[in-house]
Amino acid sequence: MMSNKTNIVGFEKEFANEFKKQLLQQYSEKNVIPECKLGNFRTDFAIIKEDTKEIIAIFELKMSKADSFNQQQLSGFNSRIKQLIQTNGMDVPVYYVLKSNEDQVPFTVNRLFQEEDDEHKSKFTFKETDLPTYEDLLRRNSTAENYENKKSLREAFNRLKFISPILALIIFAIWLICKICKIELTWIDLAFLLTSSIFAVFPFVKRIDITQLGSVEFRSDEQSSKEK
């Protein structure tokens, strides 16, 4: 029994070394991080961005064929992906590298997808793909960052739209009560109301990157000039 377990560990190490050689043919050695720790998780390999050291891809090694996993196992893989994404704070692509001693090919690179079957039931499945280039990963990372920035911007605007009328109503109510009760507001009182309003909306305004608005307007102007 001990010998069998040792053989499995030996195969896994051989598989990891074999795949690492393939990674080093595709990426620079300083971009390849083996056994990368990400929060409470440890991934087999990670590809990092050269300048920021940000993780832009994760590779998980599995000693099995794609069709040998049941739906419960695949669902578990999907849950792990979600937890990894939440830990990293960004949508990082996860690639599953599968190897079987029964196959002639050394290994296959796969992505996990969720789709519906003929009975409209959701199921997970592995789909084989090519090993992405470093440039492909950078482009995907840039797209993901833009999406997150736009999402954050949209959320900030929505919250600002929600809180601004409430603040205006509160200030108006205070002014109206003071008028009815014939209470004179001093400049200090007015300054206090204004300062309180600014501090209330500041967290939402802070999240709005004005350069994003400029870039959107610039792209729109550029697009309209091309159409002309």
The predicted structure's pLDDT at residue 225: 42
- Tell me: do 64 and 15 sit in the same domain: yes
Q: What is the pLDDT of residues 163-179, one digit of tens each?
A: 767 777 777 777 777 77
Residue 195 forms part of a structural domain: yes
**Looking at 98, 132, 166, which one is the last position of a domain?**
132
- Tell me: do 168 and 73 sit in the same domain: no
**What whole-number distance in Å separates Cα of residue 165 and Cα of residue 163?**
6
Give me the number of domains the chain comprises.
2
Average pLDDT of 137-146? 73
Q: What are phi and psi of 94, to 5 degrees?
A: -110, 125
The predicted structure's pLDDT at residue 197: 65
Residue 39 forms part of a structural domain: yes
Three-state DSSP class for residue 201: helix
DSSP letters for 123-164: EEEEEEEPPPPHHHHHHHHHHHHHHHHHHHHHHHHHHHHHHH
pLDDT band at 38 (very low <50, low <70, confident <90, very high): confident
Q: Which residue range forms the structural domain that includes residue 99? A: 2-132
Threshold 0.85, pTM exceeds: no
What does each C-alpha distance from 113 to 77, 96, 122 come to in angstroms? 11, 11, 10
Residue 129 pairs with which residues in a beta bridge? 109
